[in-house]
Structure 1
Amino acid sequence: MTPKEVRNRKTARRTQQNRIKTGFILILIMSAVLLFFIVRFGYIAASGHVGAVDLSEKTKQIYQQDNVLRARRGTIYDTNANILAEDSNVYTLYAVLDKKSVSAAGKPLYVTDKNKTAQVLSQYISLPADKILQFLSQKNYQVEFGSAGRNLSLDTKQKIEAAKLPGIFFTDTPSRMYPNGTFASHIVGLAQLADTKTADNISTKQLTGILGIEKYFNKALTGKNGSQISKRDSYGYNIPGSKTVTKQAVNGSDIYLSLDARLQSYLEQLMQNVQDKYQPKKMDAVLMNAKTGKIVAATQRPTFNAATKKGLGDLWRDSLVEDTYEPGSVFKLLTLSAAIDSGHYNPNATYQSGSVTIGDSTIHDWNNSGWGTIPFSEVIPRSSNTGAVAIERSMGADIWQQYLNRFHVGQKTGITLPGEASGSIQFKTPLDRAVTSFGQGIDVTVMQMMSYLSAIANGGKMLQPQIIDKTINSQGKVTNYPTKVLGQPITADTAKQVIAAMRDVVEKDYGTGSVFKIDGYENQIAVKTGTAQIAGDDDKYLTGSENYIFSVGGIAPADDPEYVLYLTVQQPDLTDTSAEKIMSEIFNPLMKRALKYRTTSANLDENAIKMPKLTGLTTAEAAKTAQEKGLTVAQVGQGAKIVQQLPAADEKVIAKQRIVLLTEGAMTMPNVVGWSKNDVLKLAEITGCQFKFSGTGYVTSQSLNAGEVLTTNKTITVKLAEP
């Protein structure tokens, strides 16, 4: 064998060996891959997951259709059943542009006439036709129209649908409607869409309370969503004979607040007038029924429009319950109450006003020099700091502290609003105890002050401020919120003596509250004014004549209290006026109107008419029925049948009261000249339209003429004036 043949044989042998090795390696690799797939498929079959994907859930999505049956969120009403917050839907407009989009019958489901479509849509959304045409000229499958095409009302949607424009569609979104705009906004609160899941783990978006009553009672208002589960084939059709499982939704409870829309609206006007005129940094106001603790009207500034969210920004605090501050001289009423009740008060004894030294500190009266030697009966009318200190020292620290505890100073009231603060008190040193007598060294909330004042107005019984009248669940079960007495810190006789001192604040020529006299209610207004310092960032009090929280607490009528009204105004512009004059611009007209309504309410109970059911009747039948009851009819629309009415059937009304009837078809503006604001609010509620008010009293003019079509995307301005 030649050397060449030997080399060839060796090469062939190595080649054969390499082939064997390669084949063996390939067999190992294939066996490993096969084993991996066997293990992988076994794991998938056992676990039902591929990575983070749940295969059973994917299969369920393909062959099972889960629909959420939305529960209706409960409606929030005022005490007279006027709607303050209710469920609604808003709509988003979109256009399909792809010409391949046709129905099974070959009907175009895309925009066929872009110019016509742009012209029609421009009548209903806030975009000109040329801008709409730009959207319609895009190359996308479908387009939306920005903010102009979102949050459309049902009325606008129906009007666009009536034009029968091919390729124009809507998506609906649950929404919350606040028909009164700026109206106790932080109390009523807000509900917004949030991601949630049903009990069957179905994802959905649901309205969730994030502020005020909407937040505090979110669970009760929300109810429980239901579901409908059915089987379907791979084409999306229901499988014949398959069972559909339905779990009905449980609607949320309706909540009736103690607020009276008539007085609340008036308070909002008065507060806004003062805000615009004097530019205070902050204001709070609460009107409460002295006998029940029910809040009749309450608001704050700054505030926001709940319908438009204008002014909301970062303003999420309900200052009536969440903000604490030093109350100042209104707190002297507690000092006097404790001294009288404990037997440490002699109104005829005298003291030296002006200043008093405690340790290394000197306390001055607000005018620095005082009024010489004066009787203790003048401490409250003159608002003497030194007199309050003298009264506190006559009681002693132990007794004073006992009464602070009786009044629950530093404790929450338990009002049904979220985020209530407890306040605090400094009581360690003689100086601490002295300054508490005139409202320093103490932090309170507005609602705590309402509770303290209720004890004086209500014969010594201290009431819990309440904002809820009742709740009614979806089965009709009523839960009432009765008056709650928190304690009796003082006797009825003590309360009468304190009210007498408050009367002197108004009636005596040396009183600090003469500006709070109200015509027609002579000697029936009892008040106490206050001026509290404001702590700065360095824990030192701010200086300057305007850097105070000015306040007034009032009770009326003094001989049989019905109302407690408390106001605070922080750092207003005092260039041409006094703090007391500013507060009187809210206090006097509101208290006068409340006292007037008290008489009206008494007459209502005696002469009440039961509101008939008018919906479903023809316009002629409804008008005749209402007029036979002695009611004044206002008709909205020119339709033949009544579809809505305010007040609702079975509510109490009085003779000549204006009722609003909505007919089928287009809504038209009535002549509202001569109407009260409350009547116009009924019109706003029943139509869903926005109204802007200027002035107070009765309507003198309207921006939309009678007979013109009402639309929800335009604000109607009405001017009011006192008759």
Structure 2
Amino acid sequence: MSKSPKKLHKSSRIRRNRKLFGAVLLVLVVGLFFVFIGRFSYIVSSGKLNNVNLSKKTETKYNRDRRLTAVRGKIYDSNHNIIAEDSNVYNLYAVIDKNHVSTDNKPLYVTNKRKTAKVLSRYIPLSEAKIYAVLNDQKSGAYQVEFGNAGKGLSLEVKKEIDAKNLPGIYFTKSVSRLYPNGNFASNIVGLAQTDNSDSASSGTLTGVMGIENYFNNILTGKNGYRQFKTDSFGYELPNSQTVVKKAVNGSDVTLTLDARLQSYMESVVSEVADTYAPTSMTAILMNAKNGKILAATQRPTFNPSTKVGLNNSWRNALVQDTYEPGSVMKLLSLSASIDSGNYMPNAYYQSGSVNVDGSIIKDWNTSGWGSIPFGQAFARSSNVGFVKMEQQMGAKTWKKYLTNFGIGKKTGINLPGESAGSIAYTRAVDRATTAFGQGVNVTAVQMMQAFSAVANNGKMVKPQIVSEISNSSTGKVQKEKTEVVGHPISKSTATQVRNEMKDVINQTYGTGQSYAIPGYEIGVKTGTAQIASGTGSGYLTGNNNYIFSVVGMAPIDNPKYILYITVRQPQKMTAPAETILSSAFNPILKRALEYSTGASVANVKTSEMPNLTGQSVESAKQTLEDGGLTYSLVGSGNKIVQQLPLAKEHVLSGQRAVLLTNGAMTMPNIKGWSKNDVLKLAEISGIKVKFKGDGYVVKQSVAENQLLNSTSKLTVKLASKN
């Protein structure tokens, strides 16, 4: 029986649809094939997929780069004692989550909190109770806890001691750090380097943020290298694979002109003066007059770079960044200008007391004056009226020329960041008159030292120098800094005559500087008492202590080797006259420098050179000191010396006490019987704050022996005379 036409038509339509579908499918498959071939050809030829370089992607997956970090250069003093160097420190943390266990279910968290707190309290400056409280912090469901500043910056030795106790759940992270073994030591000059985590490229590197560390940051930093190697898909290094290594180039070392022996002594003396009289600020600079090398310099307030105590109040380097009206020490320059310009008439007389300049009355510090006196006494008496008249005799144009030649109003170019240029008010006649005695002119301490050098150095003005040389042990390259003569503002005969008048300040009965005499040495000085602008735009502050008291001295005065300049601003405890405050710092510092220069023993008693104990074991250091006839006291529970006072190579008296900081937890020694100077060493090396009551030797201490100390600790000491 044949199929009906209707069924035949349906069957034909189905076959036709199948052929059409097959044709479409074939075209689609062929099209996709050609697309695939084209895509593959493009990838093969270009090496890219979706704008991603496949070769680089493969390299990224199987090649690894490991950064080889350059070691930051060291900073040395002039005798090659280390002032700053790289070090690793460790930060302590504890895992308290009980789910943190090993593959074999061994606890990797703190299991015995009482025992852990007790052990850790021996090594970090935190009490057992506080450590236990931290370990019991369950409020936030914390996985791990830290111990604040007490658990940060631990040395390798302390880490090893804690590791040896096998405390479950106690771990450390390592970070690079900068070590300042001398503590408070020209801190605002040396500066500070801190870890830079601002971006991934610089993460973990040290960056200088102030002082020499900042100014020479690029030179000190060096250049990081890398090691490139291949890994498998799991990230493990392939054995025998080719590696590419670019060695790191370590940073260069910077040697300063500072002498650690004089610097350490200056820090101790200035600390004592600052503690006694509480000035709002204080500066001291000792410079070699012949070559401009700064041998010691400090300021108050300052900070301890090891503990960071005081840093918040001492970011500025007062010696180069702060400007002020210098007062009567400026008369060294105005007297020089008057003599050198041929206008000085020492035997002519003038009426002292007061003078009228364009309607403004200028008075002597002794407001009633000394009657009619010769100009030859104006300098020693520090008569403002005499110097106003000298400025008028010179004329504004001549005096301005000498100010410019002395470098006033210009930066010295010393290798320290942020130096200020100062300024000169010179519009009105009264402005020009007051600059002759140090008002209406703003200077920096370093700028004044440069100007003083012309007087000390027979007219040859030298640039203050803080860096002695820059060297790189990798390349062997050494760059020595040379003495730079920056001008000859006055003649040799003028300089000699000015220094003779500086002698009169000390030696004449009418001189203002008799307190600064040092027996056995010829000294010349000039004192200063500068008013402080009120800040309201009109007038100056009033009150007995609202001045910047200062003194500059040169010695030996006939052929000066040293210039010492000290300023004390607004002493809050003005329990003594200004000259007593200043001389209590000036005299011992300059005397110590002169004794080093001549080789004389301090106070004509037996002295010896302090050995370098840093890095030695406690037992070895003890033996060394005992053999040298020195007493010692330890601060800390460690077995290695990390800081010492006095510093290495400093001359010390027989029987003098050395204070040694160890690598263990910082603990309080028994200080009964100590001198005030010994306690100041303890404060400097530990960073603690000390308050004194009475005078003499320690009879009572507020912090018990062996109690843990940290940078926030406060110690009150009662002193009394020995029976």
TM-score range, shorter chain: 0.7 to 0.9
- 1:204-250: CA deviations, max 9, x gaps? 32110011111111112111222222222232211233222222222
Distance in 2 separating the partners of 1:106 and 1:521: 79
| Corresponding residue number in structure 2 for 1:10 | none
The answer as to 2:490 corresponding to 1:490 is yes
The answer as to 2:523 corresponding to 1:525 is yes
Distance in 2 separating the partners of 1:257 and 1:502: 31
- Aligned-pair identity in percent equals 51
Paired residues of 1:196 and 1:206 also in contact (CA < 8 A)? no
Letter in 2 for 1:513: G
Distance in 1 separating the partners of 2:681 and 2:330: 40
| Corresponding residue number in structure 2 for 1:351 | 350
Paired residues of 1:95 and 1:136 also in contact (CA < 8 A)? no
Shift of 1:450: 0.6
- Inter-CA distance 247–507: structure 2 relative to 1 (3 Å threshold): same
Map 1:591-610; keep pairs closer than 5 Å: 591-600=590-599
Map 1:70-469; keep pairs closer than 5 Å: 70-97=69-96, 109-125=108-124, 126-127=126-127, 128=129, 130-135=132-137, 140-195=142-197, 202=201, 204-313=203-312, 315-469=314-468
- 1:435-468: CA deviations, max 9, x gaps? 2211222211100111111111122211111112
Map 1:675-690; keep pairs closer than 5 Å: none
Which ranges in structure 1 are unaligned for 5 or more consecutive residues?
Answer: 1-30
Shift of 1:134: 0.8
Distance in 2 separating the partners of 1:664 and 1:573: 37
Which ranges in structure 2 are unaligned for 5 or more consecutive residues?
Answer: 1-30
Letter in 2 for 1:386: V
Greater relative contact order structure (CA < 8 Å, 6+ sep): 2
Distance in 2 separating the partners of 1:615 and 1:122: 24
Paired residues of 2:261 and 2:649 also in contact (CA < 8 A)? no
- Inter-CA distance 711–375: structure 2 relative to 1 (3 Å threshold): closer
Distance in 2 separating the partners of 1:635 and 1:532: 43
Shift of 1:674: 11
Distance in 1 separating the partners of 2:699 and 2:249: 45
| Corresponding residue number in structure 2 for 1:504 | 504
Paired residues of 1:281 and 1:572 also in contact (CA < 8 A)? yes
Paired residues of 1:411 and 1:423 also in contact (CA < 8 A)? yes
- Inter-CA distance 50–164: structure 2 relative to 1 (3 Å threshold): farther
| Corresponding residue number in structure 2 for 1:548 | 547
Paired residues of 1:412 and 1:422 also in contact (CA < 8 A)? yes
Paired residues of 1:614 and 1:622 also in contact (CA < 8 A)? no
Distance in 1 separating the partners of 2:707 and 2:397: 70
Q: How many residues align?
A: 688
Shift of 1:680: 11
Paired residues of 1:179 and 1:684 also in contact (CA < 8 A)? no
- Inter-CA distance 694–513: structure 2 relative to 1 (3 Å threshold): same
Paired residues of 1:194 and 1:205 also in contact (CA < 8 A)? yes
Shift of 1:375: 0.7
Q: Is the partner of 1:65 in helix, strand or coil?
A: strand
- Inter-CA distance 655–226: structure 2 relative to 1 (3 Å threshold): farther
Paired residues of 1:689 and 1:714 also in contact (CA < 8 A)? no
Q: With the length of structure 2 as denominator, give the TM-score of the two structures.
A: 0.78
Letter in 1 for 2:158: T
- Inter-CA distance 424–497: structure 2 relative to 1 (3 Å threshold): same
Distance in 2 separating the partners of 1:644 and 1:175: 15
Letter in 2 for 1:169: Y
- Inter-CA distance 230–492: structure 2 relative to 1 (3 Å threshold): same
Letter in 2 for 1:214: E
Shift of 1:634: 8.2
| Corresponding residue number in structure 2 for 1:17 | none
Letter in 1 for 2:495: A
Q: Is the partner of 1:490 in helix, strand or coil?
A: coil
Q: Cα RMSD (Å) of the superposition?
A: 5.2
Letter in 2 for 1:331: M
- Inter-CA distance 257–441: structure 2 relative to 1 (3 Å threshold): same
Distance in 1 separating the partners of 2:643 and 2:532: 50
Shift of 1:600: 2.9
- Inter-CA distance 675–575: structure 2 relative to 1 (3 Å threshold): closer
Shift of 1:70: 1.8
Letter in 2 for 1:500: N
Distance in 2 separating the partners of 1:83 and 1:681: 22
- 1:102-125: CA deviations, max 9, x gaps? 667876544455554344334333
Q: Is the partner of 2:599 in helix, strand or coil?
A: helix
Q: Is the partner of 2:283 in helix, strand or coil?
A: strand
Q: Is the partner of 2:355 in helix, strand or coil?
A: strand
Q: Is the partner of 1:537 in helix, strand or coil?
A: coil
Letter in 1 for 2:377: E
Q: Is the partner of 1:281 in helix, strand or coil?
A: strand
Paired residues of 1:79 and 1:260 also in contact (CA < 8 A)? yes
Letter in 2 for 1:247: K
Q: Is the partner of 2:387 in helix, strand or coil?
A: helix
Letter in 2 for 1:491: S
- Inter-CA distance 144–683: structure 2 relative to 1 (3 Å threshold): closer
Shift of 1:153: 2.2
Bigger shift: residues 304-313 or 315-324: 304-313
Paired residues of 1:278 and 1:574 also in contact (CA < 8 A)? yes
Map 1:615-630; keep pairs closer than 5 Å: none
- Inter-CA distance 615–376: structure 2 relative to 1 (3 Å threshold): closer
Distance in 1 separating the partners of 2:613 and 2:506: 49
- Inter-CA distance 316–345: structure 2 relative to 1 (3 Å threshold): same
Q: Is the partner of 2:408 in helix, strand or coil?
A: coil
Q: Is the partner of 1:256 in helix, strand or coil?
A: strand
Distance in 1 separating the partners of 2:367 and 2:260: 44
Distance in 1 separating the partners of 2:527 and 2:562: 17
- Inter-CA distance 263–252: structure 2 relative to 1 (3 Å threshold): same
